[in-house]
Structure 1
Amino acid sequence: MREIVTTDNTITVTEAGAAVWEAYAAELDASEKTKATYTRALRQFAAWLEDAGLTPLQAKRETVLAYRADLAAAKSASTVNLYLAAVRSFYRWLESRRVYPNVAAGVRGLKTSAKQGKDALTRDQAAELVKPRGDDLASLRDAAMLTLMCRRGLRTIEISRANIGDVRQVGGKAVLYVQGKGYADKGEFVVLEASCLKPLYAYLEARGEKDPAAPLFASLSHRNAGGRMTTRSISRVAKQSMKEIGIAGARLTAHSLRHTAVTAALAGGATVQEAQAMARHSNINTTMIYAHNLTRTEARAERAADAWFDGFEAPRAA
């Protein structure tokens, strides 16, 4: 038997391992949403361990690798990586408490691509999507919201967290401060040009709300009128709006609008570093995936091959 001394009390780790999960959850330094996500992920791991006849303090590196393989057979790469992140965090914590070695250290996630699960919209599709469907408040709100998602790559969580007071001036430019996933404050911003400000101001003027602490995009439902929109409702608006202009499919979601913004920035001449800053990617390699995909769709190799077969001069690189 081992003991974990927490800030509150001493927790005995039983053979069943139940107490160790509770101790980890109590000490996890993360947002409430992250805590909930990790808790769900670790429940899955706990159930898998139980089926394998193991407790968390009996697992080896091979155990974690086997778990990853089982996950990969049933779930997407992004989901597998999220579950593994929770497992790595858990064993990193155990090691920091000198309870059990970090058997998940060095276990990599699955390779993903920024374009793997979702598609970007074309320029014409994006232009049509952000047009107001009418002059009512809901139409004005959705147009302003979709514009920020399409043109500035805002995530649904960033839309949900935004307040009216987050629209400010920096260096003579209008900006919107955002609180991204995994962050406790609003330390980053996107610059708002007229293309974004016009629909946003039209919506705010029609709404008439002036309180800086009020949500930038408010719910219009009877149960939550004036309250903060949820990420689920934002995703629903995006999906429904795409259906209304005749584009639909499993690969077209609210996150497709973020892909559209980053792709548009690079296609429009922004450097990878500039696109990274706008998208708030913590790792430039994520932005590089977009640049690679954009270069590939120019199909220079394919056109060169066709030119050779057809007897024409191959197109030259720009």
Structure 2
Amino acid sequence: MDIIVKQAQDVAIVSPQRIEDLVDSFINSQDVKLSSKLLYRRTLKQYFNWVDKKSYLLSEIARPQLLEYKEELLSSGMSSLTVGSYITSVRRFYEWTEANKYYPNVAKGIKTPKRKQQFKKQPLLPDQATALLSYYQDKALRDYAIVNLLLRTGLRTIEVIRANVEDITFKGSQRVLLVHGKGRDEKDNFVLLTDKTYQPIAEYLATRGKVNSSEPLFTSTSNNSKGERLSTRSISYIAKEGLKAIGLDERSFTAHSLRHTTAVNILRGGGSLEQAQMTLRHSNPATTQIYTATLNEERRLQNSGEALIDSLY
């Protein structure tokens, strides 16, 4: 079905091909990574399918219709984060159409859903982290080195797989791993490699014999991809195997839990919020602030006012 735009006295038929051309032009104009362009394409296709299904004229699309669209997305069971990505795509598309004088920005002021300020993945308690490392003591050196690195530095899985052997270097007297961070093209950050962090990596690298500095820090051992860079899925699988083995089989425990574990245990150990922020390389302190909720809940349970009342009467 064609999508109709009513223009003053006449009605212009905007064919699906025309819409597709506009979407193509919008996507091609965006200075974003390929994954973001694919997300724009998928979410905008869904949006225009919705417009078509509702038999709306494009000229009828305004704030009420976009709020209706957002509400239907939320009612479909999508998470607030996912709905937010759909709404963001629509907003940016209309910003572009207005800037290029194709169509007014009718999405101005449409907000993405608010997300509860907490993290979905659960951090490990210190004894659980110890149990996880103990599990890997009898496993492959590579797997122990990876999990140990994740627990002690708070690296993201994508940052681990991007690391090369040459990224282990020194800043002054401190051994560090240069980090190719989230959404960045340069390795302009780093994590410290303490002796407990570095030693398992060194032992693993020794098993690979002579390695080129440009080789991945961690490589695959499977027949189909032996010697190649690991995938994030591989690291997620390695971490999940150990988490299951120590009884943490819930969906809230994943490889990303190890990053949260680093942050929370810095605070548990008496470290400052600033230390946690610098270790996790958060640009916004508010992101790190979320981790204090876990500690506040623990303190609430351990030092409850209700228990104090029970001691009195």
TM above 0.5, yes or no, is yes
Aligned to 1:315: none
Aligned amino acid, residue 222 of structure 1: N
Matched, 1:241 2:239: no
Aligned amino acid, residue 110 of structure 1: P
What pairs with 1:266-277 in structure 2 (closer than 5 Å)?
A: 266-277=267-278
Aligned to 1:91: 94
User: Which stretch of the first structure deviates more once superposed, 109-118 or 175-184?
Assistant: 109-118
Distance across 2 between alignment mates of 1:143 and 1:125: 15
Distance across 2 between alignment mates of 1:113 and 1:127: 30
Aligned to 1:27: 29
User: Which stretch of the first structure deviates more once superposed, 74-83 or 90-99?
Assistant: 90-99
User: Would you say the 8 A contact 1:176–1:191 is kept in 2?
Assistant: yes
What is the CA distance between 1:123 and its match in structure 2? 0.9
Matched, 1:76 2:79: yes
What is the CA distance between 1:263 and its match in structure 2? 0.8
What is the CA distance between 1:239 and its match in structure 2? 1.0
What is the CA distance between 1:132 and its match in structure 2? 6.3
Matched, 1:126 2:135: no
Distance across 1 between alignment mates of 2:282 and 2:150: 15
User: Would you say the 8 A contact 1:131–1:143 is kept in 2?
Assistant: no
> Are the structure 2 counterparts of residues 215 and 103 from structure 1 closer, same or farther at C-alpha, using a change threshold of 3 Å?
farther
Residue 169 of structure 2 aligns to a residue whose secondary structure is strand
**CA deviation map 1:140-185 (0-9, x unaligned):** 1111111222221111211221111111211221111222222222
What is the CA distance between 1:46 and its match in structure 2? 3.1
Distance across 1 between alignment mates of 2:148 and 2:224: 26
**CA deviation map 1:204-232 (0-9, x unaligned):** 11122522221111111211111111111
Aligned to 1:37: 39
Distance across 2 between alignment mates of 1:82 and 1:155: 21
What pairs with 1:85-164 in structure 2 (closer than 5 Å)?
A: 85-113=88-116, 115-131=118-134, 133=136, 139-164=140-165
> Are the structure 2 counterparts of residues 57 and 216 from structure 1 closer, same or farther at C-alpha, using a change threshold of 3 Å?
farther
Residue 240 of structure 2 aligns to a residue whose secondary structure is helix
Aligned amino acid, residue 83 of structure 2: V
Among all aligned residue pairs of Structure 1 and Structure 2, give the percentage whose two residues are the same amino acid: 35
User: Would you say the 8 A contact 2:119–2:290 is kept in 1?
Assistant: no
Aligned to 2:288: 287
> Are the structure 2 counterparts of residues 305 and 165 from structure 1 closer, same or farther at C-alpha, using a change threshold of 3 Å?
same
What is the CA distance between 1:80 and its match in structure 2? 2.2
User: Would you say the 8 A contact 2:142–2:204 is kept in 1?
Assistant: yes
Give the TM-score normalised by the residue count of structure 1.
Answer: 0.84
What is the CA distance between 1:44 and its match in structure 2? 2.9
Residue in structure 1 matching 2:54, options 45, 52, 55? 52
Q: Which structure: larger Rg?
A: 2
The number of aligned residues is: 300
Distance across 1 between alignment mates of 2:155 and 2:279: 9
Give the TM-score normalised by the residue count of structure 2.
Answer: 0.85
Distance across 1 between alignment mates of 2:211 and 2:284: 37
Distance across 2 between alignment mates of 1:220 and 1:54: 54
Root-mean-square deviation (CA), in Å?
2.7
Aligned amino acid, residue 117 of structure 1: K
Distance across 1 between alignment mates of 2:238 and 2:23: 37
What is the CA distance between 1:260 and its match in structure 2? 0.9
Distance across 2 between alignment mates of 1:167 and 1:57: 57
Aligned amino acid, residue 269 of structure 2: G
User: Would you say the 8 A contact 1:174–1:193 is kept in 2?
Assistant: yes
